[in-house]
């Protein structure tokens, strides 16, 4: 049985190292395996749950596609499309919203974090975001969903919704997907605060490595990255007490392919400045070529448009068939 992979990335600009190591790098590995059928979605309906400038949004949709391809996803093999162009997503989300319970959504930590203190002013879309995410996944009978650790709770909710729908209607229509979350370093933290997620919306650009950063920007950001006053840790157990060291060495380990233990051993007792030179080097080696390719592809507008057009056709074919089955089950 082929694995069916589905995942999405929001076109909200500033795609960063966290998006790459938590999600896109895994997409590339999954795309390369002939045992998998992959669908990668630019989730533009999710993006508008917070304010977006329409012109920026359009640009960011193209940039997200360019990032997928520049990172190594093969558009001839995997389906790449944008969510808003396949109407089954919105329609299925409505139906599944009638299965999901308020109590379940009230527990979602991402809503609490994003809505902040002023949750009365948050959009309904931001609140029901995980229901749309469930629709995205369930429409394609996805068996596996590669995501960063921050999406784990939403995926559990998706499984609950599928299970309840199947139970309520006594069917076996919705497949229960498995999360694919890397064991180590599935949450990359800010370069300015080892306890905060690396994030697109963080005001300081120095908090993240953007996938469009150039060599000098990468070196400068790593130079300025927060550390602690001690030398580099000498064993893995120390890392839990030292969030900034843990994050930086985790990034090194993920990008270099060296295990965490070996990475700690290699730099044990060194000054952070020495380690940072190695970290910058590995980042430049891996990220600068992606950055260059993104910038090249972004100018090939008709190529990107063609990929999206073909991807949308293929996605629509699968999703609209599944939606019809769901509609029939509920009695439409």
Q: Any catalytic annotation for residue 114? A: yes
Identify the residue whose tokens are 């949004």. Answer: 57
Does 19 help bind ligand AQP (rule: CB under 6 A)?
A: yes
Spatial separation of the C-alpha atoms in residues 165 and 173, rounded to whole Å: 9
Among 198, 251, 264, 283, binds ligand AQP (CB under 6 A): 198
Residues facing residue 302 across a β-bridge: none
Does 192 help bind ligand AQP (rule: CB under 6 A)?
A: no
Spatial separation of the C-alpha atoms in residues 198 and 207, rounded to whole Å: 7
Catalytic residue chosen out of the listed positions 3, 32, 59, 114: 114
Which residue, 17 or 79, is less far from ligand AQP as judged by CB? 17
Spatial separation of the C-alpha atoms in residues 88 and 140, rounded to whole Å: 11
Residue 134: CB atoms within 10 Å: 28
CB under 6 A: which stretch of 8-16, 32-40, 164-172, 213-221 binds ligand AQP? 8-16
Least Cα distance to 158 among 113, 112, 96 occurs for 96
Does 194 help bind ligand AQP (rule: CB under 6 A)?
A: no
CB under 6 A: which stretch of 10-18, 84-92, 135-143, 278-286 binds ligand AQP? 10-18
Sheet containing strand 36-42, edge to edge, reads: 79-82, 36-42, 3-9, 144-146, 178-180
Q: Any catalytic annotation for residue 2? A: no
For residue 253, the minimal CB distance to ligand AQP (Å) is 14
Catalytic residue chosen out of the listed positions 200, 215, 295, 314: 200
Least Cα distance to 330 among 139, 215, 122, 171 occurs for 171
State which of positions 199-218 bind ligand AQP (CB under 6 A).
199-201
Least Cα distance to 247 among 209, 284, 204, 212 occurs for 209
For residue 180, the minimal CB distance to ligand AQP (Å) is 10
Which residue, 279 or 326, is less far from ligand AQP as judged by CB? 279
Among 4, 25, 89, 197, binds ligand AQP (CB under 6 A): 197
Does 134 help bind ligand AQP (rule: CB under 6 A)?
A: no
Residues labelled catalytic: 114, 197, 200
């Amino acid at each position: 049985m082929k694995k069916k992979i589905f995942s999405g990335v929001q076109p909200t600009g500033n795609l960063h190292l966290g998006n790459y190591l938590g999600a896109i790098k895994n997409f590339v590995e999954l795309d390369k395996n002939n045992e998998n059928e992959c669908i990668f979605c630019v989730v533009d309906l999710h993006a508008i749950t917070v304010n977006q400038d329409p012109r920026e949004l359009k640009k960011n949709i193209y940039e997200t596609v360019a990032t997928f391809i520049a990172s190594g996803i093969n558009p001839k093999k995997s389906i790449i499309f944008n969510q808003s162009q396949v109407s089954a997503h919105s329609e299925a989300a409505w139906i599944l919203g009638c299965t999901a319970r308020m109590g379940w959504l009230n527990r979602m930590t991402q809503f609490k974090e994003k809505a902040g203190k002023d949750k009365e002013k948050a959009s309904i879309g931001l609140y029901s975001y995980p229901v749309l995410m469930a629709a995205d996944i369930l429409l394609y009978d996805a068996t596996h969903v590669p995501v960063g650790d921050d999406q784990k709770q939403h995926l559990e909710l998706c499984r609950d919704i599928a299970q309840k729908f199947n139970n309520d209607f006594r069917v076996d229509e919705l497949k229960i997907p498995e999360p694919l979350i890397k064991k180590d370093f599935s949450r990359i933290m800010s370069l300015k605060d080892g306890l905060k997620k690396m994030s697109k919306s963080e005001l300081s650009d120095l908090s993240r490595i953007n996938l469009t950063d150039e060599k000098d920007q990468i070196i400068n950001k790593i130079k300025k990255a927060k550390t602690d006053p001690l030398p580099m840790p000498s064993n893995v157990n120390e890392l839990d007490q030292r969030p900034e060291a843990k994050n930086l060495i985790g990034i090194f380990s993920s990008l270099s392919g060296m295990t965490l233990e070996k990475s700690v051993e290699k730099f044990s007792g060194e000054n952070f400045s020495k380690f940072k030179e190695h970290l910058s080097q590995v980042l430049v080696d891996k990220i600068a070529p992606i950055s260059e390719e993104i910038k090249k592809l972004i100018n090939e507008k008709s190529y990107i448009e063609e990929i999206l057009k073909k991807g949308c056709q293929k996605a629509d074919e699968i999703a609209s068939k599944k939606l019809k089955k769901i509609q029939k089950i509920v009695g439409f």
